[in-house]
Chain A
Amino acid sequence: MALSNTGEVCLSARKITKRYPGTLALDRVNFNVYRGKVNVLIGENGAGKSTLMKIIAGIERPDEGTIELNGKEVHFDDTRHAAEMGIGIIHQELNLFPNMTVAQNIFVAREKLRYGMIVDDKRHMEEARKLLERLEHPLDPRTLVRDLRVGQQQIVEIAKTMAQPNLHVLIMDEPTSSLSTAEVEVLFRLIDELKEQGISIIYISHRMEEIMRIGDYVTVLRDGRLVAEAKVKDIDIPWIVRNMVGHEASVSKPKPEAERFGEELLRVEGLTLPGRSGGFALENISFSLRKGEILGIYGLLGSGRTEILECLMGMHPEATADIYLEGKEIKARSIREQIERGFAHVPEDRQREGLVQTLSVAKNITLSSLNKYARWFHLVQKKEEEHVRNTIEDLYIKVADSNLPVLSLSGGNQQKVVIGKGILTGPKVLLLDEPSRGIDVGAKAEVFELIRRFASQGLGIILVASELKEIVSISDRVIVLSNGRLTGEFAGEQITEEALVLASAEGQRAIRV
């Protein structure tokens, strides 16, 4: 699709080709970045988006092709050089130092100095505070990044790039993947502000609604080639999907019937968890779960949504609650006990908490249930291999050989490995924390398909998700948290995006509109 009547091009990539041994990551790709606009780049995982961004940000060098900045051809030696030319990048994976403060992270490698040699911490604190206020996230700049939640860390990452002097082009690689709705709003307002300042944004995202809302131009990549580019106002979501996958994908699915729920599986009464800095992380939360039911938990960052799952997994022995599993009272004291009782947990951060990167696909799958394959202390390999094979088939994990390292899989397949690990323990209750985070559209659909199948097999499922559309479409019932309190419960037809957003904002002290 040709573009006519376009704005001023600020950066353009011309016929970029990048080969990695064995694959052609980019094949003569042209890409224009328009000044003061949001330039969306979209494509399935592996389409070459990240490679293209790495080339523009000076992390990788192209094999062929050139980059022009403001009409002049440029060659970046490294990221520092690219940064000096005004190109900033916010990576999808966080690049922060957990052992350093927020302010130190923001100014790392760009330290302000007094007398040319002494680090000017006061100025760091002040400027960091100003930046964070502008981002509407007045975090204390002295906080250690380690103590922040993932979404807050994302804000720090954004602030870090904002602190870069003479920023022209800002690359955002899935900046919203770990943000809640309210935080996304803040980010969008910030993007508008940046546009007004004439800063060009390159925006990578899998979320169609976001793209339609804030994008000005959209470029679609598929298999390392440019397939289409257009003005966002000329197109719609089906157009994007069509170009991304090469055919029209079916989106809707029927809502399952309520009759399939069995008897009550889990009941939690008065769950209370003391907060780290006084107050309560969770206060007197009660809910129940039936067999075959998918219970969604929605809430903003820090609302306590993750903590509920952690309490059920026995990770917070200091929490108090009356928990009944199949009518019998239990105490959630240790992870192992909870697994033996029939709880399985898919944690939020796949790399840090879900996978053992040094092990193979097969061993990551059986990690939680190795003792089941042991006769005395000897591992019976045949049984283990059989279960690995079944899991790989059942969950449609795409892997040539289960003995390959787990990192050789794509994000979506890695996630399925983590889910498979939980399922192999033979759970009654499956706890999923952001199961669709950082995986592509196709894999997302498969993961949700799996979740529905597990539910139809009689598992009780508790799912935390920050993407409204997802939680609305999959949940049979949703409870909403705000500041550690239960602020709403919705079932069936009552589950609407508006209702969830309203309930999640209830009792928010620092909400701004």
Chain B
Amino acid sequence: MIELKPKRNRESQTHVGIGMILLKFRTFIALILLIVFFSFSAPNFLTSHSLILIASHVVLYAILGIGMTYVIVAGGIDLSVGSIVGLSGMIAGGLIYEGLALPMFGVKIFFNVFVVILITLMMGALVGAVNGLLVTRFHVAPFIATLGTLYVARGAAMLRSNGETFPNLVGDPGLGNTGFPVLGAGNLLGVPLPVWIMAIIGLIAAYIFKKTPLGWHIFAVGGNEKAAELSGIRVKRVKMFVYMFSGFCAAMVGLIVSSQLVAAHPATGETWELNAIAAAVLGGTSLAGGRGTIGGTIVGAFVIGVLSDGMVMIGVSEFWQMVIKGTVIVLAVIVDQIQRNLQNKLVLQSRSAA
């Protein structure tokens, strides 16, 4: 009997090992299952046309999700990203469509598209900085602070044009501001430009997360703010950074959307903050802070994108789509909890065994 024991032990351990691997890559596995399912049930799912369509949606959730992951890992939340998408679209659209009016000189300045993009991204980071200041200097809870900017930014977007759309953002060769649609519709090596942008932002974000002091400081602040502060980490600066980065990502999404549509509408991006949060959570980011990966969030964005578009293609009604999406998100969190409990148990076991 004694001889049997270690053997059984090892078996159960490898069992746990495989189980853990399956759990760890659950979102990825879910994504593959979804793709397989839709390829069979929707005949046009695997065509290049629909794949590009899906990708163009996924990119938006993914970039928002990356910024959101930073904020959530640092222990906060950013509800304002959807509004920043709308606002930045209006800023870029306005600058291209009617330029920057300077009444005191009676002139209108039209910027080159590249400058327009830079200005818009800076505005996004600036709104993020407002969030950061509210949270760090004025000690407003992140949920409330960003809820406030959600309304303010959306209102500002509406005010910019009185709720109207800026149409036809192709620019004017005479003014030297053409080329904006390239951002959303362009191609490089056969891959749409927005996908490149997502990949670059994702790589940089993942690099900062794992390979720079700043990244680990973000994890520390979200994991235990007090301990981080006592370790000499400049907690306020770290928080400012994550909100600014999230604002920057949202502005980038605003630019891509308005470029894809060749128009800027102030209501663009409503409730997208929820998709961003869902992508992060599906990817294993813990809302309690201190845990999350960029890769996970991107996979999470793919799950949401594939699920939404796939359901449209096989003709699931809009109402059922909502029910299914909500269920998937909650299930994902439940499985996440199960995995975490299992992991904690293993950790505690190794501690009592040591």
- For chain A, the bracket of interface size reads 35 or more
Chain A residues with Cβ below 8 Å from B108 are none
Q: How far is the CA of A479 from the CA of B24 in the complex (A)?
A: 54
Say whether B322 faces chain A, with CB atoms less than 8 Å apart. no
Number of chain B residues close to chain A: CB under 8 A:
36
With contacts A21-B345, A373-B213 taken as known, whether A355 is within 8 angstroms of B224 at the C-beta atoms is yes
Nearest A residue to B219 via CB reads A359
Q: How far is the CA of A374 from the CA of B211 in the complex (A)?
A: 9
Which of B29-37, B122-130, B225-233 binds A?
Answer: B225-233
Say whether B348 faces chain A, with CB atoms less than 8 Å apart. yes
Say whether A457 faces chain B, with CB atoms less than 8 Å apart. no
Is B216's CB under 8 angstroms from A367's CB? yes
> Max chain A CB contacts within 10 Å: which of B227, B234, B350, B352?
B227
Say whether B295 faces chain A, with CB atoms less than 8 Å apart. no
With contacts A21-B345, A356-B228, A358-B223 taken as known, whether A404 is within 8 angstroms of B214 at the C-beta atoms is no
Is A23's CB under 8 angstroms from B352's CB? yes
Chain B residues with Cβ below 8 Å from A421 are 231
Is A356's CB under 8 angstroms from B227's CB? yes
Is A21's CB under 8 angstroms from B349's CB? yes
Say whether B212 faces chain A, with CB atoms less than 8 Å apart. yes
Is A357's CB under 8 angstroms from B347's CB? no
Give the shortest distance, in Å, between B339 (CB) and chain A (any CB).
14
Nearest B residue to A376 via CB reads B212
Interface residue ranges of B221-261 to A (CB < 8 Å): 222-224, 226-234
With contacts A353-B227, A377-B214, A378-B211 taken as known, whether A409 is within 8 angstroms of B219 at the C-beta atoms is no
Nearest B residue to A347 via CB reads B230
Q: How far is the CA of A4 from the CA of B147 in the complex (A)?
A: 71
Say whether B317 faces chain A, with CB atoms less than 8 Å apart. no
Chain B residues with Cβ below 8 Å from A357 are 223-224, 290
With contacts A21-B345, A358-B291, A407-B347 taken as known, whether A352 is within 8 angstroms of B352 at the C-beta atoms is no
Say whether A312 faces chain B, with CB atoms less than 8 Å apart. no
Give the shortest distance, in Å, between B143 (CB) and chain A (any CB).
17
Is B349's CB under 8 angstroms from A23's CB? yes
Say whether A25 faces chain B, with CB atoms less than 8 Å apart. yes
Say whether A370 faces chain B, with CB atoms less than 8 Å apart. yes
Binary contact readout B282-298 vs A (1 if CB under 8 angstroms, 0 otherwise)? 00001001110000000
Say whether A110 faces chain B, with CB atoms less than 8 Å apart. no
Give the shortest distance, in Å, between A146 (CB) and chain B (any CB).
13
Chain A residues with Cβ below 8 Å from B290 are 356-359
Q: Contacting B232 at CB < 8 Å: which of A20, A359, A368, A405?
A: A368
Q: Contacting B352 at CB < 8 Å: which of A25, A379, A425?
A: A25
Say whether A410 faces chain B, with CB atoms less than 8 Å apart. yes
Chain A residues with Cβ below 8 Å from B227 are 347, 352-356, 367
Is B223's CB under 8 angstroms from A359's CB? yes
Is B233's CB under 8 angstroms from A367's CB? yes
Q: Contacting B213 at CB < 8 Å: which of A315, A347, A356, A370?
A: A370
Is A410's CB under 8 angstroms from B351's CB? yes
Interface residue ranges of A323-380 to B (CB < 8 Å): 335-336, 338-340, 345, 347, 352-359, 363, 367-368, 370-371, 373-374, 377-379
> Max chain A CB contacts within 10 Å: which of B217, B230, B232, B349?
B232
Chain A residues with Cβ below 8 Å from B234 are 336
Say whether A46 faces chain B, with CB atoms less than 8 Å apart. yes
Q: How far is the CA of A494 from the CA of B65 in the complex (A)?
A: 64
Q: How far is the CA of A355 from the CA of B217 in the complex (A)?
A: 13
Nearest B residue to A46 via CB reads B352
Say whether B47 faces chain A, with CB atoms less than 8 Å apart. no
Q: Contacting B350 at CB < 8 Å: which of A336, A339, A379, A404?
A: A404
Nearest B residue to A363 via CB reads B216
Interface residue ranges of B324-354 to A (CB < 8 Å): 344-345, 347-354
Q: Contacting B222 at CB < 8 Å: which of A345, A358, A367, A404?
A: A358
Chain A residues with Cβ below 8 Å from B232 are 335-336, 338-340, 368, 425
Nearest B residue to A354 via CB reads B227
Chain A residues with Cβ below 8 Å from B223 are 356-359
Is B350's CB under 8 angstroms from A408's CB? yes
Say whether B9 faces chain A, with CB atoms less than 8 Å apart. yes
Is A378's CB under 8 angstroms from B228's CB? no
Say whether A7 faces chain B, with CB atoms less than 8 Å apart. no
Say whether A22 faces chain B, with CB atoms less than 8 Å apart. yes
Say whether A142 faces chain B, with CB atoms less than 8 Å apart. no
Q: How far is the CA of A39 from the CA of B59 in the complex (A)?
A: 65
Say whether A149 faces chain B, with CB atoms less than 8 Å apart. no
Chain A residues with Cβ below 8 Å from B286 are 358
Give the shortest distance, in Å, between B206 (CB) and chain A (any CB).
13
Is A408's CB under 8 angstroms from B351's CB? yes
Give the shortest distance, in Å, between B20 (CB) and chain A (any CB).
13
With contacts A354-B227, A421-B231 taken as known, whether A408 is within 8 angstroms of B219 at the C-beta atoms is no
Say whether A260 faces chain B, with CB atoms less than 8 Å apart. no
Q: How far is the CA of A404 from the CA of B289 in the complex (A)?
A: 19
Say whether B278 faces chain A, with CB atoms less than 8 Å apart. no
Nearest A residue to B13 via CB reads A22
Interface residue ranges of A369-422 to B (CB < 8 Å): 370-371, 373-374, 377-379, 381, 398, 400, 404-405, 407-410, 421
Is B229's CB under 8 angstroms from A335's CB? yes
With contacts A353-B226, A358-B222, A363-B216 taken as known, whether A22 is within 8 angstroms of B351 at the C-beta atoms is no
Q: How far is the CA of A272 from the CA of B295 in the complex (A)?
A: 51
Q: How far is the CA of A337 from the CA of B345 in the complex (A)?
A: 39
Give the shortest distance, in Å, between A376 (CB) and chain B (any CB).
9
Is A358's CB under 8 angstroms from B219's CB? yes
Give the shortest distance, in Å, between B3 (CB) and chain A (any CB).
17
Is A345's CB under 8 angstroms from B230's CB? yes
Give the shortest distance, in Å, between A429 (CB) and chain B (any CB).
14
With contacts A367-B233, A405-B347 taken as known, whether A374 is within 8 angstroms of B353 at the C-beta atoms is no
Give the shortest distance, in Å, between B245 (CB) and chain A (any CB).
14
Give the shortest distance, in Å, between B198 (CB) and chain A (any CB).
22
Binary contact readout B195-226 vs A (1 if CB under 8 angstroms, 0 otherwise)? 00000000000000001111011011011101
Q: How far is the CA of A353 from the CA of B291 in the complex (A)?
A: 19
Say whether B12 faces chain A, with CB atoms less than 8 Å apart. yes
Give the shortest distance, in Å, between A269 (CB) and chain B (any CB).
25
Nearest B residue to A379 via CB reads B211
Q: How far is the CA of A177 from the CA of B9 in the complex (A)?
A: 38
With contacts A367-B216, A374-B212, A374-B213 taken as known, whether A20 is within 8 angstroms of B352 at the C-beta atoms is yes
Chain B residues with Cβ below 8 Å from A410 are 351, 354
Nearest B residue to A313 via CB reads B230
Q: How far is the CA of A20 from the CA of B12 in the complex (A)?
A: 13
Chain A residues with Cβ below 8 Å from B353 are 22-23
A to B CB contacts below 8 Å, 24 in the list: A21-B345, A315-B230, A335-B232, A336-B233, A340-B232, A353-B227, A354-B227, A355-B224, A356-B290, A358-B290, A358-B291, A363-B216, A363-B219, A368-B232, A374-B213, A377-B214, A379-B213, A400-B350, A407-B347, A407-B348, A408-B350, A408-B351, A409-B354, A410-B351
Given contacts A377-B214, A407-B351, A409-B351, 9 further A-B contacts (CB under 8 A): A20-B349, A21-B345, A25-B352, A315-B230, A352-B227, A358-B286, A358-B290, A400-B354, A407-B348
Residues of B within 8 A of A (CB): 9, 12, 211-214, 216-217, 219-220, 222-224, 226-234, 286, 289-291, 344-345, 347-354
A-B pairs with lowest CB-CB distance, top 9: A358-B290, A358-B223, A370-B213, A356-B223, A339-B232, A368-B231, A408-B347, A336-B232, A356-B224
